[in-house]
Every structure is written in C-alpha cells, then in structure tokens.
Amino acid sequence: MEQQQLLDMTAKLEALEKSLSMATTINAEVFYWWCTALMVAIHAGFLAYEMGASRAKNALASGLKNLLAFAFLVPAFYYVGWWIYLSFPAGLTLSEAGAAGIPWSTSMGPNLTDQASGIFYAAFTLFAATTASIMSGSVIERIRISGFTILAVFLGSVVWVLGASWGWHPEGWLTTQWGLHDVGAAGCVHTIAGLFTLGVLINLGPRVGRYNADGSVNDLPGHNMPMSLIGLMLIVMGFFGFLGGCIIYTGDTWMTIYNTPTTLSAFAFNTLMGIAGGMIGSYLVTRDPFWMMSGALIGVISSAPGLDVYYPGLAFLISFAGGCFIPKLNDIVVKKFKIDDAVGAVAVHGFGGIWGLIAAGLFASGYPNVSGPNVSLIGQVESAIVFALLGFVPGYLLSYVLKMFGLLRVGAAAELAGLDMAEVPVRAYPEANMPAFVNSATSPAE
C-alpha cells in the first residue's frame, strides 16, 4: 500500500511539473503574442501622423505607402529576413544556425512542438516594418509608391536585420568583439533606418517649393496637425510592445537579447522617464506641438540602449538632453544642407539612435556582457559607425539606381497636382471640390 501511494504521489508530481512547464511555455507565447499585437499600434500611429503631416492632396498616398510596406514586409521577412538574422551573427560568414530560418524548415511552419520560432519571427517582422515606416514619413509628397516599396522591402528584410544579426544577437560580432550593449535596438533599428533615409533623401531631392533661390526655407505644413499628434502618441503606446519584444522571457526570469538579466520593472521606469524627458526637452527648445511629440520618440530612443541598467533619473536626463539638441540637428539637416526631411526622421531616429549608443558608452561603461568585452565608450562609438554606414550606403546606392531608371520620384506635374490623384488615384477629401453651399441663413423655402 505504501509503495502504491508513493508511486501515485510521484506520478502527481511529474504531472504537476509537466503542467507548470506547459504553463511557463504558454505564458511566454502569450507575452510575445500581445507584444506583437501592440506593435501594430506603431504602424497605426505612423499611418496617422504621416497623413496628417501631408498636405490634403497627398494624404492618401502617404498612408498607402505605409500599408504597402507593412503588407510586403511580412512575406519578405518570412522568405529572407529571418534567415539573415540567424545566418550572419559572425559577420559575412554563414552560420549553420541559419538553416532554421529557411522557409521550408520545420521551424518555419505549423510544428506543434516548436513554440518559439513563430512568435519571435512575428516580433522581428514588426521591427522590420518599423524601419520602413521610419523612412516613409521623410519622403512624403514626392516619392513614387513603387520606388518606395522597393526601398522599404530592401531596408526591412535585408539591411536592418543584417545589423541586428551583428549587434542585436547574443553571438553578434559587435557584442562579442566590441562589447556593444543596445537592449532596445536603437542602433540596428533606428540608426540604420534613419541613415538609410538620409541616403534616399539625397537622391530624392526636396519637394517643389521647399527652398527659394536664395536658400531660404518655406514651411509646407501638413493639413491636420491633430491627426499627427494622435499618431505620434499611438507610436509611443506601441513602443511598449516594441520594447517588450526586446526582452526574453524564460518563465522564471527576464533576460535581454544579450542574455544579461533585466526586469519589466526596469523597462517600465526608464521607458516612461525617457518619454517624459524627450517631450519636455523638445518642447522647451521648439514650443512646437509636433516636435514635442516627436521628442517622446527621441526620449525613448535615447534611453533604449541602457533601459536595463539606467537609474530612472539618469534615463530622464539622457532623454531630456536628446530632446533638446536633436531638433537643432534637424534644423542643420534641413536648413544648412538643404535636405528636405518632411518629418525629421533622420534626426529623430538616425541621430537619436547614435546619441543613445554613445550615452550608453558614457553612463554604462564597465557593465559586463555575457559573451564579450564589457561595455565601453569606444565599443559603442565604433558600433554606431557600423550601423550608420550599414544604413546610409545601401540607402544611397539603391535610391541612386532607382533614380537612374526613373522609379524614385514622380514628375513635377504629378507632384503639383497631388500624389493622391497621380498615384492612388482617390481624393482624401472629395467634398472639398464641391461648390460652396448657399448661405446657411437662407431657408429652402426661399
């Protein structure tokens, strides 16, 4: 009898352990599932703020670019992007681990015993779509939808994810050799996308009427500032999904992408402090509602590399500093170099990401990495340069080729008429073309 009771108890313990293991796995799946869902809010935000930042005649074309980028990047990342991430952490040397990312691999299908590949692929796909949306706002009102889609697919499924494999992977060579620490992907997502955009803008050229013969700048305001502000706030909300997807949940602990310990508490403190710091800094130097909300993005990006190690007060100061000087860097890009960045994405994302990497080198120097040297200013700066070049060079070269074939920019007549009519062709506000109503004080009987 006692032996039977012992056997029964052992069986119950084994069943309990199995149940707990399954619960842990399900919890991890659910966590990333909702992180991915929340990241969709980023793209709703980009959609709204770019349409609002466009003049009425270009509003739908600006929105359509975002929708197409999202739709094309899902299959492109499935067929190419995930394989690149797994294949090239050592540089341009092919890793055998990349076999798991081949589209016909059992890890890339309905394998009921694999409860990780799909959700990680989904999160990375949304990161990829974010890089395309970063570029999208800067090029509004004059880029061809076809040319933009080609650029977006190449950026999202090849360029940024190669940088992620190098520097946002536990075995990435930027970490194992230089000690890169960038838990919130400021470098591989924001710096690469921002500098890719800079390369495109150089070849794309400014909008008609943006600059006068004497070099002075004309403001070309969007048709709906409230829509832009709501869109930017949606992006801020979506960042909680984005940053949640930057954490590895093991069931009993939380780890960064580099296998260093962290907590959701650390991310919550520093993300909110970063948002506030960037908003306050940008508001103080611009008094512009659009830049105040863009400052929230600056703040998150500025703090992103060290979200796991910063004391919240320090995260606020780093983000506040970024909020103060990043808008000034945008002025230099737009006014001094005559590069027409319609929404300031080069400065916000490109330069903001570089500042975040440098700040981590200044304030997190000496923090130990699991698979490489300790964090250092030199390692962070060198990594920032790699990310900047990896973004700028492909962006410039591919857009130059598209320009040579007439696929980059719409014609002058189409630009003046509006891209909604030339590229969509549907008008966002057709009632604006209707004759004015009779005086409302006049009754129908009269």
pLDDT digits (tens, 9 = 90+) for 124-167: 999 999 999 999 999 999 999 999 999 999 999 999 999 999 99
Strands (E), 329-380: none
Q: What are the CA-CA distances from residue 184 to residues 57, 209, 309 (Å)?
A: 37, 38, 12
Among residues 81, 176, 163, 60, which one has the least CA distance to residue 123?
81
Angstrom distance (rounded) from CA 239 to CA 224: 23
Specify the 3-state DSSP secondary structure of 248: strand
**Residue 130: DSSP 8-state:** H
352 vs 354: CA distance, rounded Å: 5
The span from the first CA to the last CA of the chain, in angstroms, equals 102
Residue 232: per-residue pLDDT: 96
**3-class DSSP assignment, residue 376:** coil
What secondary structure letter does DSSP report for 249? E
Neighbours of 336 (CB within 10 A): 9
Helix pair 117-138, 192-204: axis angle to 10 deg: 40
Domain 26-427: assigned CATH number: 1.10.3430.10
**pLDDT at residue 436, as a whole number:** 47
pTM given for the model: 0.92
Q: Please, are residues 131 and 193 in contact by the beta-carbon 8 Å criterion? A: yes
Q: CB–CB of 207/215 below 8 Å?
A: no
Cα 274–280–284 angle (5° rounding)? 145
- Residue-averaged pLDDT of the chain: 91
Q: Phi and psi of 168, rounded to 5°? A: -135, 50
Q: How far apart are CA 306 and CA 320, in angstroms?
A: 15
CB-based burial label for 367 (10 Å; 0-12, 13-18, 19+): middle
Give the contacts of 359 (CB within 8 A, at least 6 positions apart). Answer: 302, 303, 305, 306, 318, 322
pLDDT of residue 432: 67
Q: Mean pLDDT per 10-residue run, the chain (446 residues)?
A: 59 48 60 90 95 96 95 97 96 92 93 86 94 97 97 98 96 96 97 98 97 95 96 96 88 87 95 98 97 98 97 98 98 97 98 98 94 95 98 98 98 94 87 53 44
The CA distance from 395 to 179, in Å, is 27
Give the Cα separation of 360 and 303 in Å (integer). Answer: 8
Q: Who's near 432: CB < 8 A, 6+ residues apart?
A: 56
Amino acid at the residue 353: G
pLDDT recorded at residue 290: 96
Q: Is residue 142 packed enough to be buried (19+ CB in 10 Å), middle (13-18) or exposed (0-12)? A: buried
DSSP of 176-230: HHH----TT-IIIIIIHHHHHHHHHHHHH-PPTTSB-TTS-B-----S-HHHHHH
